[in-house]
Amino acid sequence: MSPKTESEVKVVAHNRRAAHDYFLEDRFEAGLVLRGSEIKSIRAGKVQIREAYVKTEGRQVLLLNAHISTYDPASRQNHDPLRPRQLLLHKREMGKLQEKVQQKGYTIVPVKMYLSKGRAKLEIALAKGKKQYDKRQAIAERDSQREIERALRAR
């Protein structure tokens, strides 16, 4: 398979907060089961996944609390902006996710939503929650790295 070029992938929504609040481990690409008005809103970039989360229920993986705005021209055939949406994954991936989520401290968070070859995809990550001191340590490391880079440029 050839690597995806910039023209094939358009990032629609990015959850930057996820990297701050969690240690992101394994990442998966999932398809979304959508309605017509939802894909049109996604193409328009009217998506918010900051407070969204992923839940496994039996043989299904659902995206909950993701806000896809209503599409104005659809009027009567519009969708509920916060409805649960089914994710499309391989059985092995679903099994791995369910197994890890049953362990203490693991959760599944959406990282970004993008369009790939005209289809909406969601990148999800298996994540473990960060403690407050982990967040402070990450900020301190980032600041020290920034200072080192500034010092090297000043030479």
75-131 pLDDT per residue, tens: 677 777 788 888 999 999 888 888 888 888 788 899 999 998 888 899 999 988 877
At residue 88's C-alpha, the angle toward residues 63 and 109, to 5°, is 35
What single-letter DSSP state applies at residue 75? G
Neighbour count for residue 82 (Cβ, 10 Å): 13
- Look at residues 28, 45, 143, 138 and name the one whose alpha carbon lies nearest to residue 89: 28
Can you identify the CATH homologous superfamily of domain 10-130? Small protein B (2.40.280.10)
10-26 pLDDT per residue, tens: 888 888 888 888 888 88
Residue ranges covered by each domain of the chain: 10-130
What single-letter DSSP state applies at residue 65? S
Could you tell me which residues come within 8 angstroms of residue 124 by beta carbon, excluding any fewer than 6 positions away?
Answer: 27, 28, 30, 54, 87, 108, 109, 110, 111
